[in-house]
A and B are shown apart, each in its own frame.
Chain A
Amino acid sequence: MSKNVLILAEHDDQSLKAASLSAFGLGYRISVECEGTFQILVLGNNVGDVASEASGLAPTLVADSPKLEQPIADVHAKVIAQVIEKNQFDTIIAASSTYSKDVLSRACGIVGGAMASDVIGCEVKDGDLILERPLYAGSVTAKCRLLSDPKFLTVRASAFEPAEGVEAGTSTVEVDEASLPDRVEYHGVETKASARPDLTEAKIVVSGGRAFKTTEDFEGHVGALADALEAAAGSSRALVDAGITPNELQVGQTGKVVAPELYIALGLSGAVQHLAGMKNSKVIVAINKDAEAPIFEVSDYGIVGDVYKLVPELLDKVKATQT
């Protein structure tokens, strides 16, 4: 059965997020294997640059309106639902993020579709999608099938390769502004501006756990090593709960899911909720003074020892080889 695939793009008003390129990679593969079509949808206000970048990959629908400037769920979802119904898309894919979980789930609710979240595998079999997704914080993986159209997927970027796509054009989505609800006021987002790479996009992640007792200790060890390696910094839930690190750094079931080339876990015991967020990293290194810490079970390399002693030494030696 041929499929009409729509990829919902996420962007920062200037360019597409890397995760959306992975979502596009899956959408492109599905449409090729099913001899279907694929298009990208870009929503926002003054998103010409993003639209032109997207049109380098696929025919791009652009919903550009001041009403779409802010990511308000009931507004964005309504426009997405209108686009799906008008164009008869049957497969809608976005990268897993707080935006897609908020907005795309609601769009699915409007059109009465079926949805799988956090998809980590997809196989096309007899025209149907066999999806893999984690359950129970990643303790088990389920193979599943969605039972009605349209089908909505949010996908973990680390699980799918981007695709080259094809040069195409853009077309404008007429946004019926009068039909959009006006029940939510947006008062901005407090971003903890960080010079470090984004956790979900970094090649190396350095993460800290309970061993670090203060924000200064965390920054002086985890943060400093991350900077030396041009890596992202992450943390366990325990540090976020203790107010030592901000929410955005949390890796795990309820935080971010990462799968970098190298994950360095410092003073981090490895609770199952944390492992759910990082165990698919290519190479995992652990330093922990407890030889029995579960983090060692999922690690490729480890040192049993005190992070307060070993991390400064590691930092010096990493810096020394760079000069």
Chain B
Amino acid sequence: MKILVPTKRVPDTDQKIKVSSDGTGVQTNTLPFIINPFDAIALEEALRIQEGASDEVEVITVGIGNDEYEKELRAGLAMGADRAIHVSTDELLDPWNVSKVLKVIVEKEAPDLVLMGKQAVDDDSNQAGQFLAAQLDWPQATFISKIELADSKANVERETDLGIEKLSLNLPAVITADLRLNEPRYASLPNIMKAKKKPIDSIPLTDLGIEIEPKIEIISVEAPSSIRSCKKVETVDELLTLLRDEAKVL
């Protein structure tokens, strides 16, 4: 069996995000980059499936981006992926175009399962997995917190607004990981060394034979100030009085 794990390279969002000087994006040149945390969870789950399976399971990661992406792809290999595919481009693709690229890779690799994060923490779109599933016409399960594979089916639990939903879906399928699926491992030093020798197959985006059609244009970006002046009081009585008489919310 084969599991494809698409990953996205994103600025580490634990860092302070600042608007770029031209006001059309954020300053990324000073930020460390990481594998999108939800994608790291997806990769971890693929590795756990591999480790728990009696049959052979191959785990392939794929990333779309510039040459600097090699570092994050190596990080995925160090976690334990068998090989990586790097679709190289300097363009930043929106979720629609990401899904078009992934569709080509899926058709080439024919995985049984595409496992990816539910959203990337830079644009927070939460679309690429669903777009990919739609274009492949594969069943999908988004926001999953549990997965079990058996008899060409995936039994999953999804985190929905109503609670935990249970589904079984036929493979091949696209499944997207939510936060509580697992906690990704740290790569060990020997595995980091081993990862240096693992193959990364680099393909220029222009060789995929697809036309990139941007679907969303960012006009401007600003950092809304959420700072309020907090009136600090000493007692519960003072607080209740303010909430009643000044804020009028009680």
Contacts and interface: CB of A to CB of B under 8 A. Distances in A.
A74 B140 contact: yes
A117 B124 contact: yes
B237 interface: yes
Given A117-B126, A296-B232, A99 B161 contact: yes
A137 B230 contact: no
Nearest to A275: B226
Interface in B72-123: 95-96, 99, 119, 121-123
Contact of A300 (B127, B139, B141, B230): B230
Contacts, number: 251
A112 B126 CA distance: 16
Interface string A221-254: 0000000010000000100110000111000011
Range of interface residues on chain B? 35 or more
B167 A185 contact: yes
Given A106-B130, A115-B127, A137-B13, A144 B217 contact: yes
Given A102-B143, A114-B215, A262-B249, A302 B163 contact: no
A112 B135 CA distance: 9
A106 B140 contact: yes
Interface string A166-207: 000000000000000101111111111000000010001000
Nearest to A133: B124
A241 B218 CA distance: 34
Interface stretch (B1-9, B52-60, B193-201, B239-247): B239-247
B133 A106 contact: yes
B223 interface: yes
A299 interface: yes
Contacts of B173: 183
Contact of A183 (B139, B214, B239): B139
Contacts of A301: 230-233, 239, 242-243, 247
Interface in B168-192: 168-170, 173, 178-180
Contacts of A145: 216-217, 219
B33 interface: no
Binding site secondary structure of chain A: mixed
Interface stretch (A40-48, A61-69, A212-220, A280-288): A280-288
Contacts of B165: 186, 188-190
A91 interface: no
B170 A114 contact: no
Contact of A318 (B17, B137, B240): B240
Interface residues of A, number: 87
A106 B232 CA distance: 47
Contacts of B168: 184-185, 187
Contact of A99 (B160, B220, B221, B223): B160
Given A146-B215, A283-B243, A74 B139 contact: yes
B218 A144 contact: yes
A181 B139 contact: yes
Contact of B218 (A143, A303, A313): A143
B211 interface: no
Contacts of A110: 134
B29 to A, nearest CB: 15
Given A142-B220, A144-B217, A300-B228, A189 B236 contact: no
B162 interface: yes
B13 to A, nearest CB: 6
A296 B239 CA distance: 14
B228 A298 contact: yes
A116 interface: yes
Contacts of A186: 165-167
A279 interface: yes
Interface in A29-82: 72-74, 77
Q: Lowest 6 A-B CB distances belong to which pairs?
A: A109-B134, A105-B130, A109-B131, A114-B215, A187-B166, A139-B17
Interface of B: 11, 13, 16-17, 19, 26, 95-96, 99, 119, 121-127, 130-135, 137, 139-143, 145, 158-170, 173, 178-180, 213-224, 226-237, 239-240, 242-243, 247, 249-250
20 contacts: A74-B133, A74-B140, A98-B143, A102-B140, A109-B131, A112-B96, A113-B215, A135-B122, A136-B13, A136-B122, A139-B223, A143-B221, A144-B217, A147-B217, A189-B163, A248-B162, A300-B231, A302-B232, A303-B232, A318-B240
